[in-house]
Amino acid sequence: MKKVEAIIRPSKLKAVQRGLKEADIPCITVIPVKGTGLQKTYSERYRGTEQSMILHSRVMIMCVVSDNHLDKCIEVIKENASENQVGDGKIFIYDVQDAIRLSTGVQGNEAIL
């Protein structure tokens, strides 16, 4: 099992969610976040704030998928979230030890579908 965290532009959320659903990955958690990546214009100022200190609104999509679904999940996010521009976001992937569905007590891969 893997946890995928994708930090993307809010405008891409609908397309990514649709793509994941079509790829049999319907279970996601979405969290509004603010953040900054590598900014190249260190000296510019916007309304008195140094450009590199501005926190941009992004959306974090979190999903836990079986190892079998991982490649497809990443492909869908890359296809739907990228404008091939700086600030598109990033994907982080983690190992997950286990999952438990509370309604049935089912554990493991069965619990995440």
- CA-closest candidate to residue 81, choices 25, 6, 26, 24: 6
The verdict on 35 binding Mg ion (CB under 5 A) reads no
Classify 56 as helix, strand or coil: strand
Identify the residue whose tokens are 């995440």. 112
* Residue 109 per-residue DSSP state: H
Q: Which is nearer to Mg ion, 86 or 102 (CB)?
A: 86
The verdict on 87 binding Mg ion (CB under 5 A) reads yes
Binding mask 42-81 for ligand ATP (x = CB under 6 A): --------------x-x-----------------------
Give the residues lining the site for Mg ion (CB under 5 A). Answer: 37, 86-87
